Chain A
């Protein structure tokens, strides 16, 4: 179990630029989640994949955000035309399909700063 890996750890970008983050889940986990965490808040759900299918998106996920999970392995989260309000920690998590008691395993996150 090598854990959930996220890349990069930190990203500084100028407003209006596009950014892409990568998440590599734990290899046998078929469920993958993206969360966003702003200062002083708990993580907020963005989107969910089961294998390669994106099955749920939060209303927080504006049309500038897109996520993919080709082949049901790693996932990418892209933000187009970044805004200062996008500055946050983006957390990826994965889990097995074991029902109610299956915890999410989180990566270290990607901290995005939009200047």
Chain B
């Protein structure tokens, strides 16, 4: 089974509008972390935001916020006031404590969503 599911292969948003990118995850580990990364065409993965499984409040970082619904196992990324520079691939990733193996704390990534911002 997929650990991270991103159901939107591609999304379009008008400049200055808000957009929500979906992410659902599957784990039986009570302690886990969720990350969002941005990958522009240049290839570098850029860390955006983090949400821990025990965090009581939704994470926010500037124009990025995370809509964390633990019972539904979803961690959707909300980008407010979209800019042309937001056009990129966006990846949701999860870190599990119990299943990290040798304490690697590796991240497991979804397949990504390609966001295109329209002027």
Name which of A106, A107, A108 has the most chain B CB atoms within 10 A of its CB.
Answer: A106
Within A27-52, which residues are at the interface with B (CB < 8 Å)? Answer: 31, 33, 40-45, 48, 50
Within B85-99, which residues are at the interface with A (CB < 8 Å)? Answer: 91, 93, 95, 97
Q: Mark A50-89, 1 if CB is under 8 A from B, else 0.
A: 1000011000000000000000000000000000000001
Residues of A close to B97: CB separation below 8 A: 100
Within A79-115, which residues are at the interface with B (CB < 8 Å)? Answer: 89, 91, 93, 95, 99-109, 111
Q: How far is the CA of A32 from the CA of B88 in the complex (A)?
A: 25
Within B10-24, which residues are at the interface with A (CB < 8 Å)? Answer: none
Instruction: Assess the B45–A48 pair: CB atoms within 8 A.
Output: no
Q: How far is the CA of A41 from the CA of B91 in the complex (A)?
A: 10
Residues of B close to A104: CB separation below 8 A: 45, 47, 107
Residues of A close to B95: CB separation below 8 A: 100
Residue pairs across A and B with CB atoms within 8 Å: the count is: 69
Name which of B42, B47, B50, B105 has the most chain A CB atoms within 10 A of its CB.
Answer: B105
Within B51-69, which residues are at the interface with A (CB < 8 Å)? Answer: 52
B25 within 8 A of A: no
Residues of B close to A91: CB separation below 8 A: 45
Q: Mark B1-13, 1 if CB is under 8 A from A, else 0.
A: 0001000000000
Instruction: Assess the B102–A111 pair: CB atoms within 8 A.
Output: no
Instruction: Assess the A45–B52 pair: CB atoms within 8 A.
Output: no
Q: Mark B100-114, 1 if CB is under 8 A from A, else 0.
A: 011111111111100
Q: How far is the CA of A44 from the CA of B106 in the complex (A)?
A: 10
Instruction: Assess the A56–B101 pair: CB atoms within 8 A.
Output: yes
Q: How far is the CA of A100 from the CA of B93 in the complex (A)?
A: 12
Q: How far is the CA of A114 from the CA of B91 in the complex (A)?
A: 26
Q: Mark B32-52, 1 if CB is under 8 A from A, else 0.
A: 110101000011111100101
Q: How far is the CA of A106 from the CA of B105 in the complex (A)?
A: 15
Q: How far is the CA of A100 from the CA of B27 in the complex (A)?
A: 15
Instruction: Assess the B91–A42 pair: CB atoms within 8 A.
Output: yes
Residues of B close to A109: CB separation below 8 A: 43-44
Instruction: Assess the B52–A108 pair: CB atoms within 8 A.
Output: no
